[in-house]
Amino acid sequence: MNALPASRMDCLVVGGGPAGLVAATNLARYGRQACVVDRGETRGQRPRHPRRGPGVPGAQPGSRLLERILRQAEAAGVVVCRGVVETLARDGLGFVAEVDGVLVRARCVLIATGAIEPQTVACPLPLRRGHPRVWLHAAAAPAPVVDTMQAIRFARVPVDLAVALGARRAGDGHLEVDIRQSTCVPGLYAAGDVVAGLSEVAVAMAEAAVAATAIHRALPPNRH
């Protein structure tokens, strides 16, 4: 795990999926200090339907795509840390977060925690380990033809940190943001699956780029 910055950084990015890493990379290219803190549980690390994306040769599995984005972020100078943001609060100059017991200060915060899908058992056979025999029963019967199917998402959107600061949550549980990916809390932004949208990696990356530009423009001019 990389060391957390001791001084106040420009932006703390909560979540190391595609949205968080792209936002931090763009901020670094703007000359801003960005740190990504990730706990490794978001859906962005394992897209269910990998497909060709902008600048990505061929369909990429989620882990491989994330590795490419991570390498780009680290090459740009982004600090990426594994950890859990336990609390997030306002202070006089921005925000203070507690990451695994360590206090971290930032002028702005981007919430890119994505969505967490419930862990389900795909097949009951692993639950029978240690038994000499396992019986698997199957039945065949005519199946009715379904004209229309409705997909229901059960992913949980972790927005507690933002809501505790006063950010508004939509009826579906996602965070509300404006066209700059800004919440109603000054200095607090959100991008990716944590924001209502299409749940697409390309969309999350585009939102991250918008958020990074908005954060850069909201911060004081660079000293160099």
User: What is the residue type of 119?
Assistant: Q
The single residue listed with the structure tokens 């801003």 is 32
Q: Is residue 138 a part of any domain in this protein? A: no
Kindly state whether residue 110 falls inside one of the protein's structural domains: yes
Contacts for 82-91 with beta carbons within 8 Å, 24 or more apart?
82/1, 82/37, 82/38, 82/39, 82/40, 83/1, 83/4, 83/37, 83/38, 83/39, 84/37, 84/39, 85/12, 85/14, 85/37, 85/161, 87/161, 88/14, 88/161, 88/162, 88/164, 88/165, 89/165, 90/165
Predicted confidence at residue 113, as pLDDT, reads 92
The total of structural domains in the chain comes to: 1
Supply the CATH number for residue 80's domain: 3.50.50.60
Confidence of residue 200 (pLDDT cuts 50, 70, 90): confident
State pTM to two decimals. Answer: 0.77
Give me the pLDDT at residue 154, please: 46
208 token code pair: 């991250």
Place of tokens 């990716």: 192
Confirm whether 97 is domain-assigned. Answer: yes
Domain assignment present for 145: no
The label of the residue with tokens 């200060």 reads 105
pLDDT tens sequence across 148-189? 655 545 456 678 999 999 999 988 889 999 999 999 999 999
Average pLDDT, integer, range 186-193 = 96
- Three-state secondary structure call for residue 113: coil
Q: What is the pLDDT of residues 8-59, one digit of tens each?
A: 999 999 999 999 999 999 999 999 999 999 987 655 555 555 555 555 555 5
Assigned domain for 130 exists: no
All residues at 6 or more sequence positions from 115 whose CB lies less than 8 Å from its CB, including other chains: 42, 43, 155, 156, 157, 158, 193, 194, 199
Q: Is 4 contained in some domain?
A: no
Higher pLDDT pick, 144 / 151? 144
Q: Tell me the pLDDT tens digit for each residue of 74-131.
A: 999 999 999 999 999 999 899 999 999 999 999 999 999 987 665 554 555 555 556 6
Asked whether residue 128 is domain-assigned, the answer is no
Q: Is the pLDDT of residue 137 over 70?
A: no
Q: What is the mean pLDDT of the chain?
A: 82
Domain around 157: 9-119+150-218
Question: Which three-class secondary structure state does DSSP give residue 70?
Answer: helix
Tell which wins on pLDDT, 9 or 5.
9
Note whether residue 82 is domain-resident: yes
pLDDT at 180: 97
User: CB 203: neighbour CB atoms within 10 A?
Assistant: 17
CB 107 within 8 A of CB 9: yes
